[in-house]
Amino acid sequence: MLAKGAIVALILQVFGVVASYGAQIVLARWMGTTEYGIYEYVFACALLLAILSALGLPGAVLRLIPEYQVKQETSKLRGLLRGSLPIVFGMGLAIAAIGSFLLLELDFARNWTYSQPLLVGLWLVPFLSAIDLQSEMARTVQRIFLARAPLRVIFPIGLVLIAFFARHNRVTLNSFTVLGASIMALAAIAFFQFWQLDRIFQPKIKTVQPIYNLKDWFAVALPLLLGNSFFIILNQTDVLMLGIWGSPAGVGIYSAAARTALWVSFVLQAVNTVVAPMFSTLYARGDRSALQALVSKTARWMLFPTILGAGFVIVYSEAILSLFGSEFVAAQGQAIVLVGGQCINALSGSVGYLLAMTGYQTQSSKVLGYSALTNIVLNSILIPQFGGLGAA
């Protein structure tokens, strides 16, 4: 099952990386560096807020659904499936509404470059958080396509198609229009996932009364929320802080380098898609030997693809970045530094998921918290001095 699931996940990961990377190339060429940089900055803000609005529940369902299934606690399973989505989507709507109000009312926001695009981009938050939750639900039943394809493959392709038709009809492609197109695409994906998950789970739970065990949910979710928040800070702080000290064009150029470096870790992401719920299942069964064997096997799988991917990106970084446009070649040094960071990340293996899925989410959150704090301090020192290279 691991090998089959990992192969499916790897195929989807490759298609997802190609689709996402291709979409960013097209958007960068159509929008220009400044508007593309604004779009990337606003989307990074939306991703951070979506993690907060999800309250750690995506990680909780990834941990609890396999546990409920092993223990045959179908009433608790139904309660979790029915109760978690309204909480997450409702929090996303609340954050979008409050954020919009603050942007309209606060004086400093009126002259801020990103304030008007953020008024649109904030409404990405409820859909991003809902998709995150539903993707983790799909992972628990090994529906890898439903978990990964909608956001990683369908979204970038759909976004480019919407942008193409808008451009064909002589609509100006700027941060506003592309953010609006993103909301449309994400809303369609969220509703599609909801429909599919209802078909998958409904036969298993339709005859039982739901038990809404909020205490258990948030006992798992809140430590994971801290960990997820720290993780997204680690991944987005560079873009957000570069937007404060740099220009939108600089953000756009750096984003191209960051997306290029992500090619190195695609095997890690593919394997994590499959093994995270398996960690939880084996831990719930008390099968420590199988858990150790799984961890060792996944670590071996990541070594050579990571090294080969890093070498390829470093050697051909100039040619790859030129696909975005000639001005993006300036990010070559940034891309090489980021590739080194992604190598360390990939070669560390699935330790984050292993800790979170085996009851050590608090310890995992502490590690991520110290790392996030270090990242913020280093960015605040290096970005004013070295710009995008300092962020890398």
Alpha-carbon gap, residue 171 to 151, rounded angstroms? 25
Could you read off the pLDDT of 35-83 as tens digits, one per residue?
Answer: 988 998 899 899 989 989 999 899 889 888 888 888 888 888 899 999 9
Contact between 138 and 201 under an 8 Å Cβ cutoff? The reply is no
Task: Quote the mean pLDDT of the chain.
Answer: 83
346 sits in which H/E element? helix 332-347
> Residue 286 CB: number of other CB atoms within 10 A?
8
Number of domains in the chain: 1
pTM reported for the whole predicted model: 0.79
For the four alpha carbons of 58, 299, 286 and 146, in that order, the dihedral sign comes to: positive
Give the per-residue pLDDT at 4: 57
The DSSP symbol for 154 reads I
Give the per-residue pLDDT at 9: 66
Classify residue 380 by burial, with Cβ atoms within 10 Å: 0-12, 13-18, 19+.
middle
Q: Which residues contact 364 (CB under 8 A, 6 or more apart)?
A: 223, 227, 352, 355, 356
pLDDT beneath 50, residues of the chain: none
Contact between 136 and 58 under an 8 Å Cβ cutoff? The reply is yes
Could you read off the pLDDT of 301-310 as tens digits, one per residue?
Answer: 777 777 887 8
Q: What are phi and psi of 323, to 5 degrees?
A: -60, -30
Range of the domain at 385: 2-391
